[in-house]
Amino acid sequence: MGAPFELLRRDPSSRARRGVLHTRRGDIQTPVFMPVGTRGGVKGVAPRELEELGAGIILGNTYHLLLRPGAELVAEAGGLHRFIGWDHPILTDSGGFQVFSLANLRKIERDGVRFASHIDGTRFFLGPVESMRVQRLLDSDIVMAFDECTPYPATVAAVEKSLGFTHRWERMSREQPLNDGQLRFGIVQGSVYPELRRLSARAITALDFDGYAIGGVSVGESEPEMFTAVEAAEPLLPEDRPRYLMGVGTPRQIVENVARGVDMFDCVLPTRMGRHGSAYVGRGETLPVKAGRFAHDFSPLDPECGCYTCRNFSRAYLRHLCNVGEMLGACLLSIHNLHYYLTLAAKIRAALDAGTFEDFRRDFCRPR
User: What ranges make up the beta strands (E) of 141-297?
Assistant: 142-144, 183-188, 211-214, 243-245, 264-266, 278-281, 285-288
Candidate list 11, 93, 141, 263, residue with the active-site label: 93
Neighbouring C-beta atoms of residue 187, cutoff 10 Å: 29
Is 3.60.15.10 the CATH classification of the domain at 5-267?
no
pLDDT tens digits, one per residue of 213-269 = 999 999 999 999 999 999 999 999 999 999 999 999 999 999 999 999 999 999 999
- Measured over all CA atoms, what is the biggest interatomic distance in the chain, rounded to whole angstroms? 60
pLDDT tens digits, one per residue of 44-65 = 999 999 999 999 999 999 999 9
Beta bridge partners of 288: 278
Candidate list 147, 263, 266, 302, residue with the active-site label: 266
**Per-residue buried b or exposed e for 135-173, using 16+ beta carbons within 10 Å of the residue's own CB:** bbbbbbbbbbbbbbbbbbebeeeebeebbebbbbbbbbb
Of the pLDDT bands very low, low, confident and very high (cuts 50, 70, 90), residue 368 is: confident
What local confidence, expressed as pLDDT, does residue 1 receive?
52
Of the pLDDT bands very low, low, confident and very high (cuts 50, 70, 90), residue 81 is: very high
Q: Is 27 a catalytic residue?
A: no
What local confidence, expressed as pLDDT, does residue 2 receive?
63
Nearest to 262 by CA among 239, 295, 283, 279: 239
- Report the alpha-carbon distance of residue 145 to residue 93 in Å, rounded: 8
pLDDT tens digits, one per residue of 299-313 = 999 999 999 999 999
What local confidence, expressed as pLDDT, does residue 225 receive?
98
State the pTM of this model. Answer: 0.98
> Domain segments of the chain: what residues?
5-267, 269-359
- Report the alpha-carbon distance of residue 59 to residue 49 in Å, rounded: 16
What local confidence, expressed as pLDDT, does residue 287 receive?
98
Q: Is 141 a catalytic residue?
A: no
